[in-house]
Chains A and B, each alone.
Chain A
Amino acid sequence: MPTVASGGTPISARAVCHPGSVASTPAIRLRGVVKRFGDITAVDGLDLDVPEGTCLGLLGPNGAGKSTTMRMLTAQAIPDEGSLTVLGYELPGDSKQARAHCGVVPQLDNLDIELTARQNLAVFARLYRVPRWERHAAVERALEIANLVERADTPVDELSGGMRRRLLIARGLVHRPRLLLLDEPTVGLDPQVRQELWALIDALRAEGTTILMSTHYIEEAERLADTVAIMAQGRIVARGRPADLVREHAGAETLEVYGPPPRLAEVRAAAQAQGFRTRRTGTAVAILRSEDGDGRLPEGVRRAASLEDVFVLLTGEEVA
């Protein structure tokens, strides 16, 4: 892995722990991580590996523990149990070292709104220890990534929601991190802006930046992630390539049967009696693995099984 040799290896790192020098060491490794807030266990024995150069989508409903997990990776939350390694650095002890090589894009916009796009980037170029003589170029490059060259001197206050999001991502990239942590990168944005951000994230992935992205948008995970880990109640309940997960948990085909509520309840009961798994999809009942139906199932709309089917099967229909 050439990026490792040229990049983040600290000059005077302790010999025992030579971060990132072994290609097989994952960029992120969590083992038995537990995080409690009072009586609530937000993360409950989490094991997770993110190999270098891959994009892992952490998918889960609200309250599954995704954000807490993200905060633990920057030592902004300290686990009660278990071990965390980021780019070969043990957390929380060596977290500052690890953070120097991580870019973080938070869920909540925390840009300095009085400052211009360029000033926001310049401040973080310093905070991320970009050497003085490289700072100007780093800021210009980040402006290009965010497609904000023309708005560089506009105060953040006057930028649109999409521009602010792009700037937030660019701020996390100003020091060319080896690992990018994206917490719900497109939450609350309109579809056009979302497509645009997906293109940006996809370009980073293509260049070999390791990405951990938490999201509750299934399509986002499906499109961007090499591997998806589905999280529920503080644990990983399934993990794999999106297509594999669908095949394994939801089969090939899903049948959606529409009708008034009493009819749906009937269909549901009948399908379950025949051993099919079902889920509600708002206005319809979805019968999973309908390819095994052999004419025993009612009329309906057949569609390919989706990651959403898997998601709901594994994380439950009720949202806490």
Chain B
Amino acid sequence: MRRLGSPAVRMRRLHRLEPAAIFGVMSRDVTNFATFWKATTFSSVIEPTIYLLAFGLGVGTLVSTVQGLDYVQFVGTGMVATSVLFASALSAMFGTFVKHRFQRTYDAILAAPVDTEELVSAEILWMSARAGVYGCAPLLVSMLFGLDPSPGMLVVPFIGFLTALGFAGFGVLMAAVVSKIDSFNYVTTTVITPLFLVSGTFFPIDELPEWAQVLANVNPLYHCVQLVRHAVFGFETADLAHAAVLIGFAVLMWRLAIWRLQKRLID
């Protein structure tokens, strides 16, 4: 006779941040992603192409070079940061909100031997890995517009991943803070849009007034833009500082996201 209920799992002592829990949650993400990867891939390739066509054919006729770079290449490398931002922050905001409030997926996961810290860490890691990979799309498209391949480009997915850790954390944090999904409009308008406009993607920030330069420097995305350009065209010593800012941002957002989502998920 089939045994339905007898225990089969022999259990050792469970700890905090268990890899088994983190990979378990990620396996759910990967399985789900397999059902919609085509749409994601389509938009992450087509969008930078449209931007580069618009900027290359439009603004490019007014401005030929910026900081010694061909304008299309300047924008193309900068747009890696934009792609990473959207792939991480927006997915995290909407994805977390939907899974938490509408699908109640997180209730199911937390009923298993997984805690909020593991859940949030896994979600951030997965979205960042995805954003790191898809963040390279503008770079590949730029090559079609004449950007020469360089060995430093191999570092770009890792820069994207590091940047995305912070922004995915930010997205989870926002999803835990807002009370309804429409409130995300405030976040995109007041945070996301200014972040990507004043990041040095479309124009260099050193020509902005001083107060705007100060603001740009606290914008993590600016540090991502700098790191990506330097990875493609040659690293500088200042890049260590850029990386340090991104690491600090990632750690801060990770902890804040766990703290706020825990308050939402556990009564």
> A166 to chain B: closest CB distance in Å?
13
Q: Does A96 contact B (CB under 8 A)?
A: yes
Closest to B9 in A: A175
Q: Does A113 contact B (CB under 8 A)?
A: yes
Interface residues on A, range: 35 or more
Q: Within residues 306 to 320 of chain A, which ones have a CB less than 8 A from any CB in chain B?
A: none
Q: Does B7 contact A (CB under 8 A)?
A: yes
Whether A110 pairs with B107 at a CB distance below 8 angstroms is: yes
Q: Within residues 135 to 156 of chain B, which ones have a CB less than 8 A from any CB in chain A?
A: none
Closest to A97 in B: B14
Interface residues on B, range: 35 or more
Whether A76 pairs with B267 at a CB distance below 8 angstroms is: yes
Q: Contact flags (1/0) for B36-65 with A, using CB distance below 8 Å?
A: 100000000000000000000000000000
Whether A127 pairs with B5 at a CB distance below 8 angstroms is: no
Residues on the A chain within 8 Å of B109, using CB: 127
Q: Does B21 contact A (CB under 8 A)?
A: yes
With A37-B267, A74-B111, A78-B267 as known contacts, state yes or no: A96 contacts B6, CB within 8 Å.
no
Residues on the A chain within 8 Å of B24, using CB: 123, 126-127, 129
**Which label, helix, strand, loop or mixed, suits the secondary structure of the A interface?**
loop
Q: Does A11 contact B (CB under 8 A)?
A: yes
Whether B104 pairs with A106 at a CB distance below 8 angstroms is: yes
Q: Does B25 contact A (CB under 8 A)?
A: yes
Residues on the A chain within 8 Å of B20, using CB: 126, 129
> A113 CA to B25 CA in the complex, in Å?
16
Whether B113 pairs with A127 at a CB distance below 8 angstroms is: yes
- Flag the segment in B27-35, B166-174, B236-244 that touches A: B27-35
Contact among B5, B7, B13 with A13 in the assembled complex (CB-CB below 8 Å): B13
Q: Does B3 contact A (CB under 8 A)?
A: yes
> B33 to chain A: closest CB distance in Å?
10
Closest to B105 in A: A110
- Flag the segment in A203-211, A236-244, A278-286, A297-305 that touches B: A203-211
With A112-B32, A180-B5 as known contacts, state yes or no: A10 contacts B114, CB within 8 Å.
no
> A3 CA to B27 CA in the complex, in Å?
30
Whether B10 pairs with A203 at a CB distance below 8 angstroms is: no
Q: Does A88 contact B (CB under 8 A)?
A: no
Q: Does A274 contact B (CB under 8 A)?
A: no
> B14 to chain A: closest CB distance in Å?
5
Contact among B6, B9, B28, B107 with A106 in the assembled complex (CB-CB below 8 Å): B107
Whether A127 pairs with B105 at a CB distance below 8 angstroms is: no
Q: Within residues 72 to 115 of chain A, which ones have a CB less than 8 A from any CB in chain B?
A: 74-78, 96-97, 99-102, 104, 106, 108, 110-115
Residues on the A chain within 8 Å of B107, using CB: 76, 106, 108, 110
Q: Within residues 184 to 240 of chain A, which ones have a CB less than 8 A from any CB in chain B?
A: 203-204, 207-209
> A115 CA to B114 CA in the complex, in Å?
21
Contact among B4, B28, B36, B114 with A204 in the assembled complex (CB-CB below 8 Å): B4
Residues on the B chain within 8 Å of A10, using CB: 11-13
Whether A6 pairs with B265 at a CB distance below 8 angstroms is: no
> A309 to chain B: closest CB distance in Å?
33
Whether B4 pairs with A209 at a CB distance below 8 angstroms is: yes
Name 5 interchain pairs, CB-CB below 8 A, sorted by A. A3-B7, A7-B7, A97-B14, A104-B112, A176-B8
A: which residues have CB within 8 A of B? 3, 6-8, 10-13, 35, 37, 68, 71, 74-78, 96-97, 99-102, 104, 106, 108, 110-115, 119, 122-124, 126-131, 134, 138, 141, 144-145, 171, 173, 175-178, 180, 203-204, 207-209
